[in-house]
Structure 1
Amino acid sequence: MITPRFSCSQTEIEVIVKMYCPSVRASDVEINIDETLFSVHVNPYFLRLSFPHPLKGDEDASASYDASSGYLTVTLTKETPGQEFKDLDLLAKLLAPRPTEQQQPVIEVLSSEDATADAENDIDEELAQRAQQLTLKQQEILRAAENDWQLPQEVPEPLPQLKTAPDYRYGFMDMHTGYLRHVAHTENEVNELGGDAETCPPSERRERRLKHEDEKWDEEYYMADYVEDEYIQELLHWQNPHTGVSDDDFQYSEEENATMLRLPRKEYLATPQQTHNLYLTLVTLLFSYAYDCRTTQHDPTPESAWTLSVLTPAFSALDPAPYSADPPPPNLSSFSTQELSATFAASYRRALAFPLYRSWKLAERCRADVAALLGRGKRVVARCLFEMKHVLDHHEVYYVYSKVWTDDFCVWTLAYASDETLRELAAAVKLLNMEKAMIGWDIDDLEGSAREAMEREPDSDDESESEIERMLPAPL
C-alpha cells in the first residue's frame, strides 16, 4: 500500500483531510472511524491517522474527489464541537500508532453467597495444617508479621543481563544491531570501535572514546586558532535562521512533509529514565548540528556528514548520554546542572579535538544555539533533525547513523517529546556555566600562556623598529 501525500486542517466542528490520490475510482473509497482512529483506503493508497480527540462515526463523514487535480478530500465531524485538535501539522505524529492502553482485567460476578461458619472453620483447619508443615524459619517470619516486628531486609542484587549472542545492541533506545557488522570493510572514518563495533560493551565504548579524544587533542592546533581567530570571530557573529522565525510564521515545506511520510511508524514504550536520557542525547545531536550549521553558514558541504558524525558521541563511539556519574534527579522531568555539564563536556571535547575550527568560544556559541533551538519547541527541533537526516542520508557511509539514530529521533520528537520539557531544558542549558577545567586539557593554562606571549610581541617589535631606524643613514 502507498501512503499518499496529505494535509490536515480544521474548523470549529470539522477536521478536513486532503490527500493526493491521482487516477483512482471514487466509488472504491472506504472510510473507517474508530473514536480517535481514522483510516481511508482506495486502491493502491492507504492512510491511517491517530487524532488527539474522538470523532463522530462513519455516517457523519463525507468525501469528495476532484479527478482533475487528483485530490481526495475527507471531512470528519468532531465529537465535541469547538474542541481544538492540536499538532495537525505534525504528520509523523498523526501517522504514529495509537498508544496501547493496558486495561485491568474485568471480572463479572455471576453470583455470591456469604461464607457460613462451617466453611470458615474448614479454612482455619486447612491453614493450621499448612502451618505445621512450615519450617521453623518460616514460622518465625509468620509470627513476626503478626506482631509487626521489624525484620532485617536486604535489596537483592540485580541479575546480570542475559545474553544469548555476542553482539550488543546500540542506537535509539538500544533497538538496533547488525548495521555495523562489516564496518571494518567500509571507509567509516568516524567509527572509533573498529571491527568490535557490534561486540564492544557500553562501558568499553566510553573508555575507547575518551582515550581517542585524548590522543586527538592537539595543543598547537588549538593555540593557532586561539591566536589567529579572525574567521572564528565571523562565525561567532553569524545568526542562525531557525532561531529568529516566529511561531506564527512557522510552516513545514513540502519537502519536510514528504520526509515525515517516509519516517518509520513506531510506538516507543520508553520508561521515564529512558525518556530522560533521550532528551540528553538530543542535546548532543543539536550541538553537532549547531556546529556544522554555524561553520558552513547553513550551507552544508561534502564534509558536513563527517562533521555531524564525528562530533556526536552516540555516532562515533555508540556512546549516548548520560555521561554523569551522579544519579539523576528524583524528578526525571528536570535536568541537573551536573548531568548537563557532563553532556556538554562530551560535545566540547570532540569539538576541540576533531573538526576544522577548534575554539572554546565557538563551542560556547553552539551551546547558545542549542538553547535557542530547544526554546522554539519540537517543531523547530524536528526541522533541525530533518536537515541533519538529509545530510546523512545522502552520504554513502554515514547514512547508517541516520538509520539507527536520526530517523527514530525525528519520530520521537514529533510524537512523544514535550514542548514544556524542551523549554525547561532550554532554560537550564542557557544558564549553564561551562568551565574549561571540565574538559581536562589545561585549556586555561594554554590560553594564559598565549596571552602573555601576545602581550610581549609589541614590545619586541618596537625595539626592532628602533634598531632599524638607527642603522638607516640620516636624511639629506
Structure 2
Amino acid sequence: MLTPCFDVTQDDAFIIITMRVPFAKAAEAEFCIDGTFFKFYCKPYFLRLCLPGELVEDGRERAVHDIEKGTITVYVPKLHVGVHFENLGMITSLLSKKQPTSKTPQNPLIEVLPGAGATEEEVEEEEFDWQIDQEMPVEDKPELLLGKRSSAYGFAEQHTAVFSKLQQELPALVDCPDPDGMTGHERRVARLAHEEASFNPQHYLADLMDGAEMMEALCQFQPPWSQQLVAWTDKKKRSEGTTTTAKGKGQREPDQDIIPFTDEERVQLKELPNKEYLLDKATRRTLYLGLVDVIFAYAYDYRITEGEHNVESAWNICKLSSTLSWLEVFRGRVEEVIYCSARRCLCYPLYRHWQLVQCVLHDTTQLFLLGNLH
C-alpha cells in the first residue's frame, strides 16, 4: 500500500483532509471515522490519521474528487463545533498509531527505595553528617553537579564516542579539537578562547566603514517569512472583523497554512521516524536553546545569500552555530544563546557588521513567532 501525500486544515466545523491520489479510482474510495481516527482506502492508497481531537460520523461528512489535480478532499465533522485542533502540520505525529495518553513524566523515572530489611523508621532515624563538605554550585559545570566527567553531546546529550573513529575527518566536521575527551565546560572554555583569537578588528572595521552599501542591501532584503507574518496579521484582523460584524454568527474561514508544505516536504515529513523521548524539563530547555542557535545561523545564511543557498551555506551555518561546531549545550537563558551567536557573527563569516546581526536576530524572532502561530 502507498501512503499518499496529504494536507490537513480545519475550519470551525470540519477537519479538511486533502490527499493526492493520481492513480486512484474515486468510485472505489472508502473512508472511516472512529473517535480520533480517520482511515482512508482506495487501491493502491491507504491513509490512517490519528487526530488530536474527537471526530464524528453524523451524515455531514463528504468527499470531493478533483480529477485535474488528482486529489480527493474529505470533510470530516468535528464532534464539538468550534474546537481548534492543534499541530495539524505535524505529519509524523498524525501518522502514528495512537496519540500519547500521558505527558512526559517530570520526575525521575527511577525511585530509590530503602534497602531490603530496612524499615522507614530506620531510614528516617539514620544520623545525618552535618560536617559534610560543601561547595557552591557552578552554573557552567553541570557535570560537576553530577559527580562525574560528562563528555556527552548531540540531541539531549545522548551520544558519546562518535568522533573517536573520525579523527582524520574531525577538522572538517567540528571546531572542537577533542569532542570525546573534553567535558561540556572544557568545550565552552576552548570555544570562547577560539572566538577571542579569531576576532579580526581590521575586518570588522573594514565592513563598518567601507561596506555600508553592501550592508544596506543585505539589511533591506525581505525574507518570505516577513511577508507571511504580515499576511497572518491581516488575516487575523479580517477574521476578527467578520466575527464582530456577524455578532458571533459568522463562520470562520478554513485554517489554511500561511506557509504550506510542498509535496517534496510532505514526503520528507512522512518518512521521518516517529520516535518518543523521555525528556525532563531541563533537557527540553537545552534542546529549545540549541534550536534557537541553529535557526539563527540559518537565518544569517538565508539573508546574506538572499534566499539562494550556495556551496558555502553549510559552512556558514555550521560555523555560526556553536551547537554544531563546538557541540555546545546551553543551559542558561536565551540571552546567552543570542550573545554567543552575535559573537560568532562578528568573528567568522564574510560579512561582519552589527547592523546585520540585529537584522538576523529579527529574522530569528519572526521564524519562531510563525512557528508558534501554527
| Length-normalised TM-score, structure 2 | 0.68
Q: Does 1:296 align with 2:305?
A: yes
Q: Residue type matched to 2:190 in 1?
A: R
Q: Tell me how far 1:174 sits from its aligned partner.
A: 2.8
Paired position in structure 2 for 1:312: 321
Q: Tell me how far 1:206 sits from its aligned partner.
A: 1.8
The secondary structure found in structure 2 opposite 1:223 is helix
Q: Tell me how far 1:228 sits from its aligned partner.
A: 1.9
Give the alignment partner of residue 212 of structure 1, picking from 187, 191, 194.
194
The secondary structure found in structure 2 opposite 1:192 is coil
Q: Tell me how far 1:371 sits from its aligned partner.
A: 2.7
Paired position in structure 2 for 1:21: 21
Paired position in structure 2 for 1:222: 204
Q: Does 1:141 align with 2:125?
A: yes
Q: Residue type matched to 2:194 in 1?
A: H
- TM-aligned CA distance change 1:283 to 1:97, over 3 Å: farther
Q: Which has the larger radius of gyration?
A: 1
Q: Tell me how far 1:44 sits from its aligned partner.
A: 5.3
Q: Distance in 1 between matches of 2:24 and 2:289?
A: 46
Q: Distance in 2 between matches of 1:90 and 1:139?
A: 48
Q: Does 1:252 align with 2:234?
A: no
Q: Which structure shows the bigger proportion of residues in helix conformation?
A: 1
Is the CA contact (8 Å cut-off) linking 2:24 and 2:45 kept in structure 1?
A: no
Q: Residue type matched to 1:235 in 2?
A: L
Paired position in structure 2 for 1:348: 342
Paired position in structure 2 for 1:284: 293
The secondary structure found in structure 1 opposite 2:225 is helix
The secondary structure found in structure 1 opposite 2:368 is helix
Paired position in structure 2 for 1:463: none
Q: Distance in 2 between matches of 1:71 and 1:349?
A: 49
- TM-aligned CA distance change 1:81 to 1:374, over 3 Å: closer
Is the CA contact (8 Å cut-off) linking 2:33 and 2:39 kept in structure 1?
A: yes
Is the CA contact (8 Å cut-off) linking 1:232 and 1:362 kept in structure 2?
A: yes
Higher relative contact order (CA 8 A, sep 6+): 2
Is the CA contact (8 Å cut-off) linking 2:56 and 2:78 kept in structure 1?
A: yes
The secondary structure found in structure 2 opposite 1:189 is helix
Deviation track 1:226-282 (CA, whole Å, cap 9, x = no partner) reads 332222233233333322332138231424444433444233443222333333222
- TM-aligned CA distance change 1:90 to 1:228, over 3 Å: same
- TM-aligned CA distance change 1:272 to 1:57, over 3 Å: farther
Q: Residue type matched to 1:251 in 2?
A: I
Q: Tell me how far 1:134 sits from its aligned partner.
A: 9.0
- TM-aligned CA distance change 1:139 to 1:208, over 3 Å: closer
Is the CA contact (8 Å cut-off) linking 1:311 and 1:350 kept in structure 2?
A: yes
Is the CA contact (8 Å cut-off) linking 1:23 and 1:67 kept in structure 2?
A: no
- TM-aligned CA distance change 1:51 to 1:139, over 3 Å: closer
- TM-aligned CA distance change 1:47 to 1:175, over 3 Å: farther
Q: Distance in 1 between matches of 2:179 and 2:123?
A: 54
- TM-aligned CA distance change 1:363 to 1:64, over 3 Å: closer
Is the CA contact (8 Å cut-off) linking 1:213 and 1:349 kept in structure 2?
A: yes
| Length-normalised TM-score, structure 1 | 0.56
The secondary structure found in structure 2 opposite 1:220 is helix
Is the CA contact (8 Å cut-off) linking 1:39 and 1:49 kept in structure 2?
A: yes
Q: Tell me how far 1:308 sits from its aligned partner.
A: 0.7
Q: Does 1:266 align with 2:275?
A: yes
The secondary structure found in structure 2 opposite 1:318 is coil
Paired position in structure 1 for 2:155: 172
- TM-aligned CA distance change 1:153 to 1:55, over 3 Å: farther
* Aligned length in residues: 324
Q: Does 1:76 align with 2:48?
A: no
Q: Distance in 2 between matches of 1:80 and 1:368?
A: 39
Which ranges of structure 1 fall in alignment gaps of 5 or more residues? Answer: 104-132, 145-150, 325-338, 379-417, 421-476
Q: Tell me how far 1:27 sits from its aligned partner.
A: 8.6
The secondary structure found in structure 1 opposite 2:8 is strand
Q: Tell me how far 1:6 sits from its aligned partner.
A: 0.7
- List aligned pairs for 1:225-236, cutoff 5 A: 225-230=207-212, 231-236=214-219
Deviation track 1:213-237 (CA, whole Å, cap 9, x = no partner) reads 2332223222322332222233233
Paired position in structure 2 for 1:201: 183
The secondary structure found in structure 2 opposite 1:170 is coil
Is the CA contact (8 Å cut-off) linking 1:7 and 1:17 kept in structure 2?
A: yes
Which ranges of structure 2 fall in alignment gaps of 5 or more residues? Answer: 104-116, 135-143, 236-256
Which region of structure 1 is more displaced relative to structure 2, 39-48 or 347-356? 39-48
- TM-aligned CA distance change 1:98 to 1:211, over 3 Å: farther
Paired position in structure 1 for 2:250: none
Q: Distance in 2 between matches of 1:28 and 1:161?
A: 62
Q: Residue type matched to 2:337 in 1?
A: T
Q: Distance in 1 between matches of 2:45 and 2:10?
A: 23
Q: Residue type matched to 1:291 in 2?
A: Y
- List aligned pairs for 1:318-467, cutoff 5 A: 318-322=327-331, 324=332, 339-375=333-369, 377-378=370-371, 418-419=372-373
Q: Distance in 2 between matches of 1:27 and 1:178?
A: 56
Q: Tell me how far 1:320 sits from its aligned partner.
A: 3.0
Structural RMSD (CA): 4.3
Q: Distance in 2 between matches of 1:71 and 1:344?
A: 44
Q: Tell me how far 1:92 sits from its aligned partner.
A: 4.8
Q: Residue type matched to 1:316 in 2?
A: S
Q: Distance in 2 between matches of 1:301 and 1:295?
A: 10
- TM-aligned CA distance change 1:174 to 1:25, over 3 Å: farther
Q: Tell me how far 1:191 sits from its aligned partner.
A: 0.8
Is the CA contact (8 Å cut-off) linking 1:96 and 1:266 kept in structure 2?
A: no
Q: Residue type matched to 1:356 in 2?
A: L
